[in-house]
Structure 1
Amino acid sequence: MNRATLNELQRQRSYPSITMLLNTTPGITLSLTELDTARRLACHIDNRLDGDVSDALRLSLITRLTHAIDEQAGEPSSHALALFVSPEYSAAVRLARSIEERVTIDDTFTTRDLVAVFNRTALYRVITISEQTSRLFIGDRQRLVEQRDDAWPLTRNDEHTPTWARDLSDRLRTEHATDPLPVVVAGVQRSVRKFAPTLTETIGVIAGNHDRTSITELHHAALPIVNDWLRTDATRAICQLDLARSNKRYAGGIHEIWPLTLDGRVATLIVESDYTLPACIDHNNQLHPANDPDHPDVNDDIIDDTIEAVLQHGGASVIVNSNSNTLIDRQRIAAILRY
């Protein structure tokens, strides 16, 4: 999964948009127990759709969902599997962290756990830089994958140093515009000095020449840098939140944050990982907590919709551990406002 996949999922608007979230065992195909769980959740979805949509649409959606389950059954798993099916769209995404198993049916897909992947599973780039070549990798906690296409790897021919630096900078700028990620630079000091100033998302450096370093070695060298960066992510967000409060650019609690989100005023949303809230929305866009998340008039999780709305308005989202009590005095969700 990458940010482009997340953005594509969040652009979908259609009822019913079905999301199934299932925990799986990394490295092996779906077990019989996991398959039984997936099929039980599919039956639950079928029951919820009965009488809510036409029989023809319900049958089509359940058939496609069942096909997706069978298709994924023979593939090596990650920590969790997310299946998305709507009248116009379907997708399967493997997640690198465990989730709360559930299904949602709404006008949009539930992408909160995908957002958490970006906040918690160390998606990053590694760029190797030298006087003659540059390689680009995408990584998470478990592996690096080299990007090999028309743009990468980049090999220097007869270009003068300024031309080589400009070509490298242009290609990295294109990658960052498509999918902004933190960057670990690998290279000798003189090369890093020449080219790293163009990398605004740099979080650390792996010293030495790495033109021929294996992917496994690069991954082992990069991961401690990324882990240090991740450990400070929530701390940075809370510090920024405290500053926003003193500057009167703070909001706390979902009832205060929801209308501000719709107005595009939220710059950064900070929310506990397991905070969910089924709710109804009235004609004034006011929230009313609901006890029946399966009811057609109830939004399964208004917190997920809030996260999506923030991202769609160009804001950021930070998911923090619910056990950390970081937001205990902020009603489990808080926001830094643009104004």
Structure 2
Amino acid sequence: MTGAPPRADWPTPEQVLLLQSVRADPCVSLLASTRPAPRMTEADAATLERLAADATVRLAGDGRVGSDLAGALAETVARARSGPTGRGIAVFVNPVVREVVRLPVPVTDRVVVDPTFATRDLVRTLHRTPRHLVLLLSDREARLLEGVAEDLRPPPRSPFPLVADGVSRDAFLRRVDQALATHRRLHPAPLVLVGAERTVTRFRRLSRDLDRLAGTVTGSLLRAPLPDLVPREREVLDAYLLSRQDEALALLDRRRSRAAVVEGIDAVWLAARCERPEMLAVEEGFTYPARLSADGDFLTPAADVDHPDVVDDLVDEVIETVLLRGGWVALVTDGALAGRGRVALTVR
């Protein structure tokens, strides 16, 4: 029997936080768009090799450390080439880390050599294609799926699927609700309900665990092929994510009336370090290479990104600072913060 082709595993919040916590000079990040495939295509491999060669040139001035990292980078790229791909890939290497992360979203091909890893595309993945749960319901059966991007599969450990086994409809739906609550306590995530309108309506009335309900898909789809289900549940999830952007922009307006908002990269960078950050809103396409002052508080924009004194993208650093200091991040569409410097921070 032929096994299914390997599938890419997407980044988890725990993995992203771990990569963000790393501080070592240098940290090498390679990011490239790829074509979904069970094994990386030759064209994508050539792109990754080109980026690795660029990084090796930039490491050449770091003596023995640079030489060792160049070797580690070559080994990690070779490992990435042998595995499956999504729509993007990230390779992270420093003296102790050798990490390959597949992404369900395309990225801008680039090399970053900084004291930290370039994780913004991973953060964007978590925001735009978050892990979520899909509960498929009928009066007599319930299935649970875990989704990231266009990938749906049963979670590795859960009490599902469930079958009614002769009990009444309401008793069964309460049992489903209890099992769902148990799973979501361990694995919190937005939820999409799928089922006939009558069943979903009744479940919503009985349930005690519908926080972060992204929405519902109406139809008898318990046995529907997953490729048919994905676009329907994705439409619901996209609307939910758009409402989160609106929520972030509304929070900016409320905090502005209390003089608790700073705007523009210079002010945001200083406030993220010196005040108590609450929520960072930043346009997805905004990047800002810069030099830091000796005390780290002030920025000078830079065009010579390859220079070792230049931080390739201060926006990545701001995102990491806000998350590490207990704030949350909203990536908004380009233009949503027009006139506000493309980035804004609310403070407590």
| TM-score class normalised by the smaller sequence | 0.7 to 0.9
The equivalent residue for 1:146 is 154
Answer whether contact 1:186 1:208 (CA < 8 A) is retained.
yes
- Indicate the SS of the match to 1:25: coil
Say if 1:243 and 1:49 are closer, same or farther in 2 by CA, change over 3 A: same
| 1:20 CA displacement | 0.3
1:265 lines up with 2:276 in the alignment: yes
- Structure 1 residue ranges, 4+ long, deviating more than 6 angstroms after superposition: 156-164
Say if 1:143 and 1:59 are closer, same or farther in 2 by CA, change over 3 A: same
The equivalent residue for 2:116 is 108
Q: Counterpart of 2:129 in structure 1: which amino acid?
A: T
Say if 1:157 and 1:142 are closer, same or farther in 2 by CA, change over 3 A: closer
Answer whether contact 2:159 2:179 (CA < 8 A) is retained.
no
1:202 lines up with 2:210 in the alignment: no
Answer whether contact 2:33 2:89 (CA < 8 A) is retained.
yes
Q: Residue by residue, what CA displacement relative to the aligned partner does 1:104-153 show, whole Å, maximum 9, x if unpaired?
A: 1222211001111122235422123567665332223422122132x342
1:310 lines up with 2:322 in the alignment: yes
* Of 300, 306, 317, the match for 1:289: 300
The equivalent residue for 1:96 is 104
The equivalent residue for 1:18 is 28
| 1:154 CA displacement | 5.6
| 1:212 CA displacement | 4.4
Q: Residue by residue, what CA displacement relative to the aligned partner does 1:30-65 show, whole Å, maximum 9, x if unpaired?
A: 44443333222212212222232x42x323322222
**5+ residue gaps in structure 1?**
none
**5+ residue gaps in structure 2?**
1-9
Say if 1:168 and 1:210 are closer, same or farther in 2 by CA, change over 3 A: same
Query: Distance between the aligned counterparts of 2:76 and 2:140, measured in 1?
Result: 45
Say if 1:163 and 1:142 are closer, same or farther in 2 by CA, change over 3 A: closer
Query: Distance between the aligned counterparts of 2:252 and 2:242, measured in 1?
Result: 17
- Indicate the SS of the match to 2:187: helix
The equivalent residue for 1:279 is 290
| 1:264 CA displacement | 5.5
The equivalent residue for 2:3 is none
* Of 235, 238, 241, the match for 2:249: 238
| 1:184 CA displacement | 0.8
Answer whether contact 2:26 2:115 (CA < 8 A) is retained.
yes
Correspondence 1:185-200 to 2 at 5 A: 185-187=193-195, 188=199, 189-195=201-207, 197-200=208-211
Query: Distance between the aligned counterparts of 2:16 and 2:257, measured in 1?
Result: 33
The equivalent residue for 2:136 is 128
Q: Counterpart of 1:272 in structure 2: which amino acid?
A: E
Query: Distance between the aligned counterparts of 1:163 and 1:223, measured in 2?
Result: 27
The equivalent residue for 2:61 is 51
Say if 1:134 and 1:265 are closer, same or farther in 2 by CA, change over 3 A: farther
* Of 237, 247, 252, the match for 1:226: 237
| 1:165 CA displacement | 4.3
**Stretch deviating more after TM superposition (227-236 or 98-107):** 227-236
The equivalent residue for 1:256 is 267
| 1:29 CA displacement | 4.3
The equivalent residue for 1:329 is 339
Q: Residue by residue, what CA displacement relative to the aligned partner does 1:247-272 show, whole Å, maximum 9, x if unpaired?
A: 22211011111122124622211112
Answer whether contact 1:122 1:226 (CA < 8 A) is retained.
no
Q: Counterpart of 1:16 in structure 2: which amino acid?
A: P
The equivalent residue for 1:6 is 16
The alignment-based identity, stated in percent, is 28
* Of 24, 34, 46, the match for 2:44: 34
| 1:156 CA displacement | 7.0
Answer whether contact 1:269 1:335 (CA < 8 A) is retained.
yes
Say if 1:51 and 1:235 are closer, same or farther in 2 by CA, change over 3 A: same
**Stretch deviating more after TM superposition (82-91 or 137-146):** 137-146
Q: CA RMSD in A?
A: 2.7
Query: Distance between the aligned counterparts of 2:138 and 2:96, measured in 1?
Result: 46
Query: Distance between the aligned counterparts of 2:164 and 2:35, measured in 1?
Result: 46
Query: Distance between the aligned counterparts of 2:301 and 2:161, measured in 1?
Result: 55
Q: Counterpart of 1:175 in structure 2: which amino acid?
A: H
Answer whether contact 1:137 1:144 (CA < 8 A) is retained.
yes
**Aligned residues, how many?**
328
* Of 64, 67, 71, the match for 2:75: 67
Q: Counterpart of 2:341 in structure 1: which amino acid?
A: Q
Say if 1:295 and 1:220 are closer, same or farther in 2 by CA, change over 3 A: closer
Query: Distance between the aligned counterparts of 1:268 and 1:40, measured in 2?
Result: 37
Taking structure 2 as the reference length, the TM-score comes to 0.84
